């Protein structure tokens, strides 16, 4: 079974609008972390935001926020005021437990295109 | 200078060649990783060197061989590859042992096997 599911292969958004990228996860662990990464065409994966399973508040980092719904096992990324430079692939990822050797598992990604 | 540097950026090799990918991190991290990114597939973790332990994905073929001489350098040695090994190979590093451990990635090596 997939640990991370991103159901939107591609998304379009108008510049300056907000967009939500979906992510659901599957784990039986109580302790886990959720991450979002951005991959522009240059190839580098850029860390955006982190949410711990015990964090009560939704994580925010500038224009990025994570809509964490634990009971639904969803961790959607919200990008506010989209910019042309936001066009990229976006990957949701999860680490189960807090051990240093537990690998990060990625979803298949969503390609976001921001149009002027 | 970026935190994680990968060379070369592009590599074309024949199936009988031997080549190596190099990764260097300047972040003081103690864990390094190789990921494979193929079209329309999730990132696949190949190898981890964390806290001086090597952890690997048992599904990775033996034609891929990692080497981590110290905490700052990581290599991926390639020999007798197949065309299906063509992909983007990403190196990453992290500070292992923290709950919110973030991976920092290099820009990748785009590998084409002919």
Percent of chain A with pLDDT over 70: 96
Most distant CA pair in chain A, distance = 43
Task: Give the model's confidence band at B16: pLDDT under 50 very low, under 70 low, under 90 confident, else very high.
Answer: confident
* Average pLDDT, integer, range A83-97: 94
Q: Which residue of A has its CA nearest to B6?
A: A44
A46 touches chain B (CB under 8 A): yes
For residues A96 and A24, the model is more confident at A24
Sign of the Cα pseudo-torsion (A83, B41, B4, A31, in order): positive
Cβ-defined contact of B50 to A101 (cutoff 8 Å): yes
Q: B112 with B11: CB under 8 angstroms?
A: yes
């Amino acid at each position: 079974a997939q640990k991370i599911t991103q159901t939107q292969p591609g998304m379009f958004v108008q510049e300056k609008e907000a967009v939500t990228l979906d992510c659901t996860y599957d784990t039986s662990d109580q302790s886990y972390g959720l991450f979002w990464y951005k991959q522009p065409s240059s190839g580098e994966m850029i860390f955006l935001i982190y949410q711990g399973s015990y964090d009560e508040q939704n994580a925010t980092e500038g224009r990025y926020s994570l809509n964490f719904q634990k009971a639904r096992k969803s961790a959607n990324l919200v990008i506010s005021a989209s910019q042309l430079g936001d066009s990229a692939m976006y990957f949701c990822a999860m680490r189960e437990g807090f051990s240093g050797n537990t690998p990060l598992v990625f979803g298949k990604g969503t390609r976001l295109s921001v149009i002027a | 200078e970026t935190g994680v540097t990968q060379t070369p950026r592009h590599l074309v090799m024949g199936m009988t060649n031997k080549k190596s990918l190099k990764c260097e991190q300047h972040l003081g991290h103690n864990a390094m990783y190789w990921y494979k990114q193929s079209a329309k597939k999730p990132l696949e973790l190949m190898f981890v060197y964390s806290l001086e332990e090597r952890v690997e994905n048992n599904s990775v073929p033996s034609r891929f061989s990692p080497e981590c001489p110290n905490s700052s350098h990581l290599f991926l040695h390639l020999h007798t590859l197949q065309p299906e090994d063509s992909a983007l190979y990403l190196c990453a590093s992290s500070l292992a042992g923290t709950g919110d451990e973030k991976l920092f990635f290099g820009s990748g090596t785009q590998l084409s096997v002919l």
